[in-house]
Structure 1
Amino acid sequence: MKRKFFNYILLLSAFAGSTGCQKDFGDLNISPNGPSSPSTRYLFGNAVVNIPGIQAASGNLYVQFASEFEYNEESRYFNKIYTYDPIYAGPLMDLQTVIDLNTDPETKETKVVVENGTNPNQLGPARILKAFLMLHITDRWGDIPYSESLKGVENVKPKFDKQRDVYNDLLKELKEASAQITAGLPNDPLFDGNAAAWKAWGNSLRAIVALRMADTEDAAIAKTAFNEAVTAGLISSNAGNAIFKYLTNSNFENPWYTNYIRQGRRDYGVSETVMNFLVSRNDPRLPIFASKASNTGTYVGIPYGKNDSYTTSDFSLFAPSIYAQNAPLQITTYAQICFTMAEAALRGWIPGGDAEVAAWYDKGVRASMDQWASVSRSPVVTITETDKLTYLALPQNALPAVNALSFNEKLDRIQSQKWINFYMNNGFEAWAEWRRTGYPVLQPAADPLSADGQIPRRQCYPTTEKDLNGDNYKAVVTAQGPDELATRMWWDK
């Protein structure tokens, strides 16, 4: 095991020397300074702290939460190649080391391991967080290094597993991981040692994974897994939301604060797509999401994907709930689970028919409004019961138990509310849901720079794969399709 950890340090050093700077400031990874004797307490905590590093700007741009004021190449799909190297070399390697230390007979009873909890109670959260990160990677790139990854220098040229195999293994991992947790951990920045919250998050991720498989050849397997996750217990209120808590210090501050305030940059603002959605629905979340344009005192969205530059004072910037120094990152929320349940009812995966669809949709809208009101600041926004009832009564927002809407029209209502709930917190998840369902309906960039001019279906592999893992790179391109933005992945066929 000591040799394994030494290999881990060597691999971190290699990646640290090979990765470069990107415009997506959210991709920056907090590199661990590996201790000579690995402590699972340190490794797990560092992996959690690295969660925000996966929330890069590209996801928020693809689903048109944000628009760029001047440098608009990314929202016009110019960038193709994105790297996952820091995710593998940082948090995933930390988590794999925690797993190895807790399963290797030579290390599982040592002081640096047992001081952070029993082996099962460390393995459960580590496996859940590893699955979460692997889900993120496969949903961006498709087929990925999985079963042969994280082996250190023992295997620096891992094969690419098919996304179908990755998804099915994630179902297994999340099921087993949630089941083995019985107590919380002392060094848990995500859930503060709440074992029940970890179990609910793991089960919720399993339900999300399963529903994403709904239109694949494994739909029957997915339906069974979904119902098993529901029975095991999902996130059941906003109190159980998976939230990364930023702090009011420069080491752990919200990256939008760094961009907006510390660096004084205004690269991004609220898109016209989001603004039109909120205004047309009289949405009480509007002042939580957007600030008024300083020149006019009105809400004005920035046109999306046009070959133009815009003056920041003429358009709406993000509201402080997005860019405040300690504004939290909302990862998986009760509202998301409610909309997931609504779609499951719509598909007949759970009983209740249209009445169940309507009930979960109603719960989701209410949960989202409560969730966002709770993080509002400057101004603090209160969304009352009357506000919610008024919103849900509008024809464009309503999804009653008795209706004449088609399947796709109902799915559009559900997915549109799920989409807006992800606003500026989980753009990649919103992108995955849009690709899977086609909702909400989004128009491509007006002046695209990509070959097909359409919203990307995936991102291209980092150049390190072609340069350092060439044979496996060629094999995955042959199996999955061209390494291009337009290539659809398994669940998006």
Structure 2
Amino acid sequence: MKNKSIILVVLCTLLTFFVGCDRDFEEVNLNPNDPTEVPADLLLGNLLFSTANALYSVQASIDQGSGWAQHMAKVQYNDEMRYIPREGTILGAWNNFYVITASDGRKMADLAIEQDNTAIQGVALVMQAYGFLMLTDLFGDIPFTEALSAEAGNTLAAYDDQEVVYAGSIAFLDQAISLLSSSTDEISSSQDLIFSGDKSSWIKFASSLKFRALMRESGVIDVSAQLQQLVDAGNLFSSRDEEAKFPYLEADPNANPLFETVDFGGRGEYKINQVLVEYMDGTNAITDARLAVYAELNDDDEYRGKPSGLLDLPSDEFGYTNVSSIGAKYLAPTAPGYFVSYTELQFLLAEAAKKGFISGGDAAAETYYLAGIRSSLAENGVEDSFDTYVAQGTVAYTTNAAIEKIALQKWIALYGQGMETWIEWRRTGIPELTPAIASTLGSIPVRFTYPNLESSLNGTNYDAAVSSQGPDALTTPVWWDNN
């Protein structure tokens, strides 16, 4: 009896213990290191870093962007410079801007809505717009309305005309500006790696990006009223201190991708292009102090570029030591990654004023033009050459050649920003460039072809896009390209 009593007491004690432990079990046993809901702004740091890396990926930005815009060249392994891009590079650009920039931006926006943070929602919309605009500028017609809907069961997204993508992306920016302007919520300064949580800076980024997008489509639709509204609102970048750029760090893997590939990775075949050198060394009646920053002296103590697209390299004529390497400033690990620069914005404003899209006419156009030049010279540490530089006849603002001079100076100033240089060159056609020497394409590429996976996995929608836009070729212009 005594043993039975002991057993009964033990059983009752255990029963009481288990019943007690079961109370609030889910709350007590939550793992603080494995949260079920991530704060929306924790996605922002990686989103910014990965987007900057996609922009500055050497294979896409330099081999194709700067190479096709004839800012840079290679003395070996130069198939891309001859307009034979790698499928992996094209797929990488497609995936990066969809999976990281647009998709993570969408996830961050959805989380921000759930967590009632309108400031983070605004930031997320800016980044979504940035991703979609880059995709459509690179490829043309792309999935937009049905994009990023795989979780909802749609893995075969239809393509939208580029005009639709632009309208939707600009609507994102308008919504972002509205949310950020009225929000009392916070943006994590530790996660916001470009503006440290400052909402007004994000408004200026969104406004300046919208101005660029509107100028991109200004050749095919009337955007004057929208451009003037942006100027009147006073929320465009007003100095280089306000521009949107990613601050890379000193050491791999957080350094600028150009440094990581060329310097840290020992890829010395990347050089400056002969065409750019000749627009800066006096050959084309322009002497430019930035050349000593853009490039290094070769073994003969000269600044010497290489033409695009030669075969049989390296050679005695164009080798590793007799062609100028990329300048140390642009190979620095901490060289920033620009999303939208103040310098570029000034040239866009100058063009808009000259064309009558915004008020001010030639007087405003010249002011913006000179501000763009001064900004670029200052950025490269040669601002003291400003007066001498703009006094040159081929640089000085003139009403009859203003559009050509604005576009040329923007092309020179965008050095190092490979994708943006090539995209803007496609829009303006200035300067006039000759296709690579050893290329059978016949012209400089004006878009990326779609990744091969699209035709095999999303064939019906891919075929519809090709039927609408034109052949899936490097030579098929996108909607806004009317050159």
> Same fold judged by TM-score > 0.5?
yes
The alignment status of 1:433 with 2:418, answered yes or no, reads: no
Cα RMSD, aligned residues only: 1.7
The alignment status of 1:195 with 2:184, answered yes or no, reads: no
Q: In 1, Cα distance between the equivalents of 2:395 and 2:186?
A: 40
Compared with structure 1, are the counterparts of its residues 91 and 132 closer, same or farther at alpha carbon in structure 2 (3 Å cutoff)? closer
Measured after TM superposition, the shift of residue 231 of structure 1 is 2.3
Aligned pairs (5 A) from 1:228-239: 228-232=229-233, 233-239=235-241
Q: What are the Cα deviations for residues 41-71 of structure 1, in whole angstroms up to 9, with x where unaligned?
A: 3212211111221332211111011101111
Contact residue 39 and residue 111 of structure 2 kept, 8 A? no
Partner residue in 1 for 2:108: 98
Contact residue 171 and residue 225 of structure 1 kept, 8 A? no
User: Aligned letter for 1:45?
Assistant: G
Q: In 2, Cα distance between the equivalents of 1:349 and 1:87?
A: 30
Match of 1:63 among 63, 69, 81: 69
Match of 1:292 among 292, 297, 310: 297
Contact residue 75 and residue 319 of structure 2 kept, 8 A? yes
Measured after TM superposition, the shift of residue 308 of structure 1 is 3.8
User: Aligned letter for 1:421?
Assistant: A
Measured after TM superposition, the shift of residue 102 of structure 1 is 2.1
Q: In 1, Cα distance between the equivalents of 2:440 and 2:195?
A: 42
Compared with structure 1, are the counterparts of its residues 211 and 45 closer, same or farther at alpha carbon in structure 2 (3 Å cutoff)? same
Partner residue in 1 for 2:261: 259
Partner residue in 1 for 2:356: 348
Partner residue in 2 for 1:445: 436
Measured after TM superposition, the shift of residue 297 of structure 1 is 1.4
Q: In 1, Cα distance between the equivalents of 2:277 and 2:36?
A: 51
Contact residue 287 and residue 319 of structure 1 kept, 8 A? yes
Compared with structure 1, are the counterparts of its residues 472 and 396 closer, same or farther at alpha carbon in structure 2 (3 Å cutoff)? same
Contact residue 67 and residue 302 of structure 1 kept, 8 A? yes
User: Aligned letter for 1:383?
Assistant: E
User: Aligned letter for 1:469?
Assistant: N
Q: What are the Cα deviations for residues 138-172 of structure 1, in whole angstroms up to 9, with x where unaligned?
A: 00100001111112332211110100111112222
The alignment status of 1:458 with 2:447, answered yes or no, reads: yes
Match of 1:327 among 319, 335, 338: 335
Q: What are the Cα deviations for residues 210-234 of structure 1, in whole angstroms up to 9, with x where unaligned?
A: 1111121x22xx2122122222310
Measured after TM superposition, the shift of residue 92 of structure 1 is 2.2
Aligned pairs (5 A) from 1:168-183: 168-181=167-180, 182=183
Match of 1:399 among 397, 402, 407: 397
Contact residue 140 and residue 447 of structure 2 kept, 8 A? yes
TM-score (norm 2): 0.85
Partner residue in 1 for 2:44: 44
Task: Give the 3-state SS of the residue equivalent to 2:380 in structure 1.
Answer: helix
Contact residue 117 and residue 186 of structure 2 kept, 8 A? no
Q: In 2, Cα distance between the equivalents of 1:91 and 1:457?
A: 23
Contact residue 78 and residue 449 of structure 1 kept, 8 A? no
Q: In 1, Cα distance between the equivalents of 2:267 and 2:216?
A: 36
Q: In 1, Cα distance between the equivalents of 2:268 and 2:35?
A: 38
Partner residue in 1 for 2:18: none
Partner residue in 2 for 1:476: 465
Q: Which stretches of structure 1, 4 residues or longer, exceed 4 Å deviation after superposition?
A: none
Measured after TM superposition, the shift of residue 36 of structure 1 is 5.7
Task: Give the 3-state SS of the residue equivalent to 2:245 in structure 1.
Answer: strand
Q: What are the Cα deviations for residues 178-235 of structure 1, in whole angstroms up to 9, with x where unaligned?
A: 221146511201212121111111001111111111121x22xx21221222223101
Contact residue 274 and residue 306 of structure 2 kept, 8 A? yes
Compared with structure 1, are the counterparts of its residues 71 and 35 closer, same or farther at alpha carbon in structure 2 (3 Å cutoff)? farther
Compared with structure 1, are the counterparts of its residues 230 and 486 closer, same or farther at alpha carbon in structure 2 (3 Å cutoff)? same
Compared with structure 1, are the counterparts of its residues 443 and 314 closer, same or farther at alpha carbon in structure 2 (3 Å cutoff)? same
Aligned pairs (5 A) from 1:103-118: 103=113, 108-109=114-115
Q: In 2, Cα distance between the equivalents of 1:250 and 1:171?
A: 35
User: Aligned letter for 1:100?
Assistant: D
Contact residue 143 and residue 162 of structure 1 kept, 8 A? yes
Contact residue 47 and residue 92 of structure 1 kept, 8 A? no
User: Aligned letter for 2:394?
Assistant: Q
Contact residue 374 and residue 383 of structure 2 kept, 8 A? no
Match of 1:279 among 281, 287, 291: 281
User: Aligned letter for 1:97?
Assistant: K
Measured after TM superposition, the shift of residue 330 of structure 1 is 2.6
Contact residue 70 and residue 275 of structure 2 kept, 8 A? yes
Give identity over the alignment, percent: 31
Task: Give the 3-state SS of the residue equivalent to 2:126 in structure 1.
Answer: helix
Gaps of 5+ in 2: 1-33
Which 10-residue stretch deviates more, 156-165 or 73-82?
A: 73-82
Measured after TM superposition, the shift of residue 132 of structure 1 is 1.0
Q: In 2, Cα distance between the equivalents of 1:88 and 1:167?
A: 15
Partner residue in 1 for 2:131: 133
Task: Give the 3-state SS of the residue equivalent to 1:169 in structure 2.
Answer: helix
Q: In 2, Cα distance between the equivalents of 1:203 and 1:279?
A: 36
The count of aligned residue pairs is 425
Contact residue 76 and residue 445 of structure 1 kept, 8 A? yes
Task: Give the 3-state SS of the residue equivalent to 1:312 in structure 2.
Answer: coil
Contact residue 305 and residue 324 of structure 2 kept, 8 A? yes
User: Aligned letter for 1:173?
Assistant: F
Task: Give the 3-state SS of the residue equivalent to 2:201 in structure 1.
Answer: helix
Q: What are the Cα deviations for residues 118-142 of structure 1, in whole angstroms up to 9, with x where unaligned?
A: 5210011111111111111100100
Q: In 1, Cα distance between the equivalents of 2:107 and 2:277?
A: 44
Q: What are the Cα deviations for residues 263-295 of structure 1, in whole angstroms up to 9, with x where unaligned?
A: 2121311110111111122211112111111x2
Q: In 2, Cα distance between the equivalents of 1:437 and 1:398?
A: 19
User: Aligned letter for 1:465?
Assistant: E
The alignment status of 1:366 with 2:374, answered yes or no, reads: yes
Decide which structure has the larger Cα Rg and report it: 2
